[in-house]
Amino acid sequence: MNRAKVVRAGGWLFIVAACALAGCGGSDPAPATGAQAGPAGTSAPNPATSSDAEQFVPTWARNYAPKVEIYVSPTGNDASSGLSRAAALKSTAAAIARLAPGVRLNFTAGTYGCAGAFISNFNGGTAMPGSIRSVDGPRAAKFDCAHADGSPGSSFLLDFVHGFIFEGIELSNTAGHGIQVMSGGGPTWDVNAISSDIVVHGSYIHHTGLAGMKSSQARRIAAIGNELAFIAVNRQTLEFVAVDEVTLAGNEAHHSGYFDEIKGGARGPHVIFGNYIHDSDGGILVGGPGTGFQFLVHSDADFEARDLKVWNNVIANVPREAFYVWACHDCVVAHTTYYGAAPNASLRILPSDFTDASGAVVRSNHNLNLTVVNNLFLSASRFNDMVIGPASETTGLAMSHNLWFAQGMATTAGVFSDIAFAGEPSSLYASNPLLNGAPASLRPSAGSPVIGNGMALPFAPSSFDGVAWNAAPNIGAY
């Protein structure tokens, strides 16, 4: 199992894959500082990302060996060949014009614009993917998409792209999405032709007008070991509509909206693993709300997402739900630690509808075979409410080995009176988890009731820190 190296930068921690993908050579690159520093009062002492997240980098991306290397520098010349640092190109547009299957674009340290950042009909696949990387180390190559007057501008758009890697870049100041992946405009999509096999790894995306990354009508998209910050609060940080096989692992998301959405008849397997979500408006969407029927790739779907596993995530200083589950089939939510000072709720489980362009319901979708296990829900005051739809809309719900605790409210009366699952015999209620000092540290101290009281899961052999469970696992991420 690959282990990423944890590097501190400007007060934050982020994952550097020891140049496994970047191929930067020599000693590990020094990360950028300054702009990445977190504001005072956040839960920064937690590690930003899980130490095991790198295992989810697809093998084809981890072993990528380009056929051609093209170099780009702020002091380059677009009339040059780009085949060496000495003959580097200068602009983003000139570099992208050189893309072909097996070509890697190496952007050296400096700041670049986003004009011309449009990639279409690229068919390298997993055998000969293309790549854009920060060759001098993570975040050394900065794409500032703002116009000359400082207003936000357009960013990276990928249309019918197969096989592509973004490695270690910094991207900011977009009017729309930071990175957008699409497959034409429909009205129907061929599952064998839609964009596929795209990895965004070790990058920093911030100050976007819409989502940090938006993908629609695509397959096998992964966002691993990234930092995503100051994303439009009315959007999700990472949005996936009608995208099969999504992997979100080891990301840090903060000062944004909800972390994600995976919806629109999205077939799995999907993974949401080892992410650190803090100081944002909401937590994790398990599925997603109300997709337009016209956007579906699989028009027979009766779910927003299917086969989605969510585990080993840490969610802190978030006023809304840890999890909002929408019409998810065969889904598991496990081993997450959640802290909210005064959350409106910790968990919501609701149905969703596919609607046509006029808003009329085409198909109603319900939750099916949802398991919520080994999670720690902690509030500094109380949980105002928790919402679970009626049994007809949530079939096969299994909840066990969770701990729910609101500080200052020692009994279940008044705290859990509106929760259908109160009193579940394998869960703990009103039991102080004895953490080391939430929200600065969400790890359990000696004698904590979370220790050894979880249920063993075959896909979750270790904690958020990458430490194997000795026997029975703990409740929560640690």
Separation of alpha carbons 425 and 39, rounded Å: 41
CA dihedral 415, 287, 197, 186 (to 10 degrees): -150
According to DSSP, the β-strands at 68-72 and 323-326 are unpaired
Look at residue 307 in the predicted model and tell me its pLDDT: 98
CA 399 remoteness from chain centre: 24
Look at residue 471 in the predicted model and tell me its pLDDT: 86
Separation of alpha carbons 139 and 159, rounded Å: 25
- Which two tokens mark 174? 């977009």
Separation of alpha carbons 240 and 415, rounded Å: 35
Identify the architecture of domain 5-424 in CATH.
3 Solenoid (2.160)
Separation of alpha carbons 224 and 167, rounded Å: 10
Look at residue 386 in the predicted model and tell me its pLDDT: 66
Query: Which residue ranges of the chain lie beneath pLDDT 70?
Result: 1-51, 384-386, 389, 408-423
Going from N- to C-terminal start, the domains of the chain cover 5-424
Look at residue 409 in the predicted model and tell me its pLDDT: 58
Using DSSP's 3-state secondary structure scheme, residue 243 falls into strand
Q: What is the DSSP letter of 97?
A: H
Task: Give me the residues paired with residue 179 across strands.
Answer: 156, 213
Task: Give me the residues paired with residue 158 across strands.
Answer: 119, 181
- Please give the single-letter amino acid code of residue 95: A
Cα distances (Å, whole numbers) of residue 418 to 34, 408, 430, 448: 46, 18, 15, 26
Q: Among all chains, which residue has been given the structure tokens 């699952």? A: 421
Q: Model pTM? A: 0.89
**CA proximity to 225, closest of 205, 245, 197:** 205
Element containing residue 61 per DSSP (H, E): helix 59-62
Using DSSP's 3-state secondary structure scheme, residue 228 falls into strand
Look at residue 63 in the predicted model and tell me its pLDDT: 95
Look at residue 18 in the predicted model and tell me its pLDDT: 31
- Please give the single-letter amino acid code of residue 51: S
- Which two tokens mark 27? 């000693």
Judge contact between 208 and 241, C-beta under 8 A.
Answer: no
Task: Give me the residues paired with residue 21 across strands.
Answer: none
Look at residue 417 in the predicted model and tell me its pLDDT: 43
